[in-house]
Amino acid sequence: MKIAVCDDEKVIRAAIGERIRQLYPSCQILEYERGEQLLPHSQELDIIFLDIQMEGIDGMETARRIRKKNRRAVLIFLTAWEEYVFQAFDVDAFHYLVKPLKKEKFYQVLEAAVNRVKDSAVSPQAMEEERAILVKSGAFSRKIPVCDIMYAEVRNRKVTLHTTRESMEFYAKLMDLEQELGEDFVRSHRSYLVHLRYVSGYCATDITLEDGTVILLAKQKYREFVQRYLNYIKRTEEAI
C-alpha cells in the first residue's frame, strides 16, 4: 500500500509519516512539499494526506487534478481552518483533520482509510467494467460503457468514438474526453485518444489495436505512450 503525505511543513510531514509507520510499518510512505510534486505520482497512490493551504497549487485544486486520473485514492485533507471542509465534498474526500493533529483522531481516520482501501480493492478491469460516459449524438443521449471504447479521433471539432460494437459522432473536445475517460486512455496524437486495453503492439510511428486498426503515434508522444502502456501492463498483472 502506498500512502502519500503532501504538506509544505516538513515537521508535519515527518510527524504523520512516523505515526503511519507505527501502525503500518510495511506501507510505503511518500512525502511531497507541494501539489506540483505530488501530481505526477498520484495515479499509483492508495491514500493521500493533503494539506489545503500550500504555495503554488493549493490542496483543493491538487485534489481536483488527482480525481481526473485516480478515482480510487482515499483523500484526507489537512487544514487549520474548518471552513474549507465543505469544499472537500466536491472531490469525494474521505475525511479531514484539523491542525494541530490529535493523535487519537489521526489513528482512527488512518485505520478507517486503510480499511476503505482494503474493502474497495478491485482490479482496474473490474472498475472499468462499471464505468460509463454519457454521449449526446444528435437529439439522442446514450450511455456508453468505458470498457467498450477502443479509441476516439477528432476531425473539424467532431469526435468519432469507436467502440467494439459501433462508431458514433458528436461535438466535443478531445481534451475533455481524455480527462473524463481517465488514466487508461492515452493521447497518441493530437487527433487520437487510445484505450490501452485494446493495444496489441506499437512501433515508433503507430499503434496497432487488437482488431487491426492502426493509429498514428506522434514522435513527441512516443515516450509518454510507452511509459503509460508499461505502467498499464504492470497494473493489470498485479491485479491478477
Confidence of residue 3 (pLDDT cuts 50, 70, 90): very high
Domains and CATH numbers, the chain: 2-121 (3.40.50.2300), 126-239 (2.40.50.1020)
Residue type, 197: R
The percentage of the chain sitting over the pLDDT mark of 70, rounded to a whole number, equals 90
- Estimate the crossing angle of helix 10-23 against helix 103-119, to 10 degrees: 60
Structure confidence by residue, pLDDT tens digits, 154-164: 998 899 999 99
Question: Could you give the CA distance from residue 85 to residue 213 in angstroms, rounded to a whole number?
Answer: 48
Least confident residue range of 4-8, 55-59, 197-201: 55-59
Question: Could you give the CA distance from residue 43 to residue 151 in angstroms, rounded to a whole number?
Answer: 21
Q: Which residue has the higher pLDDT, 128 or 107?
A: 107
3-state secondary structure of 132: strand
Q: Which residue has the higher pLDDT, 127 or 94?
A: 94
Cell readout for 223 is: 515516450
Question: Could you give the CA distance from residue 168 to residue 163 in angstroms, rounded to a whole number?
Answer: 9
Structure confidence by residue, pLDDT tens digits, 43-92: 889 999 999 989 889 998 999 889 888 888 999 999 887 665 556 556 77
> How many H helices and E strands in the chain?
7, 15
Q: Which long-range contacts (CB under 8 A, 24 or more apart) does 93-96 make?
A: 93/63
